[in-house]
Amino acid sequence: MNSKTPLAAMISFALFSTMPVYADDLDALKAELMQMRQDYEQRIANLEQRLKQTETTAKQAQYDVAEVKSAPAPIQVTQNNSRFNPAISAVLNGKFSDYSNDPDDYEISGFSLGEEAGLAREGFSLGESEIILSANVDQLFYGQATIALHDHEGETEVEVEEAFIETLGLSNGMTLRAGRFFSPIGYLNEKHIHAWNFADAPLIYRGLFGNQLSTDGLKLSYVLPTDQYIEIGGTVGNGDQHPGSGEHNGVGDWLVFAKTGGDIGSNHNWQLGLSHWQASPDDREYSGGHAHGGGEAESVAFNGDTDITNLSFIYKWAPNGNFKQENFTLVSEYYYLHDDGKLSHEDELASYDGKQYGGFIESIYQFAPQWKTGLRYDWLGSKHRASDDELLEDADLDATGFNPQRYSLVLDWLPSEFSRIRAQVNHDRSSREDDTQLLLQYTISIGAHGAHSF
């Protein structure tokens, strides 16, 4: 197709450059063209003739094969189990938790925990119940919504976890998404909590985001036309999701990311991701404020600039690439957050420079089609400097050289791909108080069969 332009150029060159001088030659050229055209037409006619003959022979052959079951007529079946309804599924889960310490005293040294970032209540509790709707909207868009219901202090809260539209094959590997979505900041962050390999979030997710970071805004991604998978993209958001804060009229936070990955033989797959997020929080509140002389405690607030960098690595193994029988997954992520600004509490003000970092490494081994086991190690660190140490204390950021760590062991029984019974034990040193935690959990999915990302 691309040769059309040079072709046209060459024709015009051939014609115009020769026309004035060699009129005779032009006639010769015309004659030659006519000749070639005739030849070509002749050849097509021959081909058509041969095709007809072969068709007749083929039909004959079909009659000869009397034994072949008369093939059912090809039909177009509507193979869409939802007809025009969106695909609907619900994820339900329940938990039994037991801790050696009082969960109300739970804290992570050097991190200030938001409201939802604490531990689930002891004993029986209902986890988040999610309703997921998705469908192609029309020829251009796909839409998805995840509505989560959960109890908080005796009341049932409804939360829109995700609600976005996304282009369907915009063009050339581009995809645009708009709405609320899990930010593509890290590997686990983009997955629903129920698809995680452990019953609770990695400590760094709990400490930085209160489990998960979502974005209200736009996401643009581009898959490069290379043999090697390379995807780059970015998001812009309103900047009000923790650790962002405040109302921003324009772009309140932005993120850029890059991912690459591939196969090594048919047994090994890997993916590597890098992302960087920035926001300028207005009055990010730290819940750990201590009341000064009676009355309601006023929170410490942060104003300034925050950036987060993530590095993630995923490796999967399955013999012959057949994940059904046996497989192994290794996920490791590292986060680094930097705050630069001011802390304020009541009338006090202090300049503040904070660093929070940490990561986790988890390995999951599915040793039989219905059984999985896994190990996870979390570690965290922080370095905070403020012109007034009292404010650090008020904000619960006064970690003094203590690095939280946690070891987790999990065992899953998967009666089918729609149900999972899980037992998990944590040895948690989020603070100086060692805690041993036992979590028993069921998670089920009913309704449409969703696809799972890598």
Partner 1 sequence: MKSFLTTSLFFILFSATAQAEINIFACEPEWAALSQELGGNKVTTYSATTGLQDPHYIQARPSLIAKARRADLLVCTGAELEAGWLPLLQRKSGNAAIQQGAPGAFMATDYVQLTAIPTQLDRSQGHIHAAGNPHIQTSPVMLLEVAKILSMRFQQLDPDNQVYYEQRWTNFELRWQAAINKWQQQVAALQGLPIVIQHNSWDYLIDWLKLEKVATLEIKPGVPPSIVDLNKIVKQLEITPASVVIHAAYQSPRASDWLVEKTGIPKVALPFTIGGNESASDLFSLFDNTLQLLLDASK
Cβ distance to partner 1 smaller for residue 407 or 454: 454
Per-residue x/- track, 175-194, partner 1 (CB under 8 A): x-------------------
Cβ distance to partner 1 smaller for residue 54 or 156: 54
Per-residue x/- track, 12-51, partner 1 (CB under 8 A): --x---x------x--xx--xx--x-------x--x---x
Sites for partner 1 among residues 97-136 (CB under 8 A) = 136
Find the helix or strand (DSSP H, E) in which 293 lies: none
> DSSP string of 158-226?
EEEEEEEEEESS-BTTEEEEEEEEE-TTSTGGGS-GGGSSSSS--HHHHHHHTT--EEEEEEEEEE-SS
Cβ distance to partner 1 smaller for residue 263 or 434: 263
Per-residue x/- track, 416-445, partner 1 (CB under 8 A): xxx---------------------------
The answer to whether 228 contacts partner 1 (rule: CB under 8 A) is yes
Distance between CA atoms of residues 451 and 144, nearest Å: 13
Q: How far is the CB of 182 from partner 1 (least distance, A)?
A: 15
Nearest to 179 by CA among 166, 164, 167, 161: 164
Distance between CA atoms of residues 372 and 424, nearest Å: 12
Nearest to 11 by CA among 31, 26, 23: 26
Cβ distance to partner 1 smaller for residue 58 or 158: 58
Nearest to 342 by CA among 301, 400, 402, 374: 301
Cβ distance to partner 1 smaller for residue 166 or 253: 166
**Residue of 230, 251, 421, 423 interacting with partner 1 (CB under 8 A):** 230
Cβ distance to partner 1 smaller for residue 270 or 402: 270
Q: How far is the CB of 67 from partner 1 (least distance, A)?
A: 5
SS3 129: strand
Q: How far is the CB of 168 from partner 1 (least distance, A)?
A: 5
> DSSP string of 24-36?
HHHHHHHHHHHHH
Output the six-digit token pair for 217.
């805004």
How many C-beta atoms lie closer than 10 Å to residue 185's C-beta? 28
Sites for partner 1 among residues 75-104 (CB under 8 A) = 75-77, 79, 81
CB–CB of 14/28 below 8 Å? no
Q: How far is the CB of 93 from partner 1 (least distance, A)?
A: 17
Nearest to 409 by CA among 370, 444, 364: 364
Cβ distance to partner 1 smaller for residue 29 or 440: 29
Per-residue x/- track, 347-376, partner 1 (CB under 8 A): ----------------------xx------
Non-local CB neighbours of 339 within 8 Å, separated by 6+ positions: 302, 304, 305, 306, 352, 353, 354, 355, 356
Cβ distance to partner 1 smaller for residue 10 or 438: 10
Sites for partner 1 among residues 148-177 (CB under 8 A) = 166-175
Cβ distance to partner 1 smaller for residue 260 or 363: 260
Stretch that binds partner 1, among 73-81, 121-129, 208-216, 393-401 (CB under 8 A): 73-81
Q: Which residues pair with 307 in a beta bridge?
A: 278, 338
Output the six-digit token pair for 321.
């690439």
Per-residue x/- track, 244-273, partner 1 (CB under 8 A): ---------------xxxxx--x--xxx--
Per-residue x/- track, 392-411, partner 1 (CB under 8 A): --------------------
**Residue of 5, 249, 400, 453 interacting with partner 1 (CB under 8 A):** 453
Cβ distance to partner 1 smaller for residue 273 or 359: 273
Nearest to 445 by CA among 129, 168, 137, 23: 129
Cβ distance to partner 1 smaller for residue 26 or 131: 26
Q: How far is the CB of 61 from partner 1 (least distance, A)?
A: 5
* 421-429 contacts, C-beta under 8 A, 24 or more apart: 422/199, 424/198, 424/199, 424/200, 426/200, 429/404, 429/405
Q: How far is the CB of 78 from partner 1 (least distance, A)?
A: 9
Q: How far is the CB of 236 from partner 1 (least distance, A)?
A: 19
Give the count of residues interacting with partner 1 (CB under 8 A): 91
Phi-psi region of 198 (alpha: psi -120 to 50; beta: other; left: phi over 0): beta
Sites for partner 1 among residues 298-337 (CB under 8 A) = 316, 320-325
Output the six-digit token pair for 436.
């041993």
How many C-beta atoms lie closer than 10 Å to residue 446's C-beta? 11
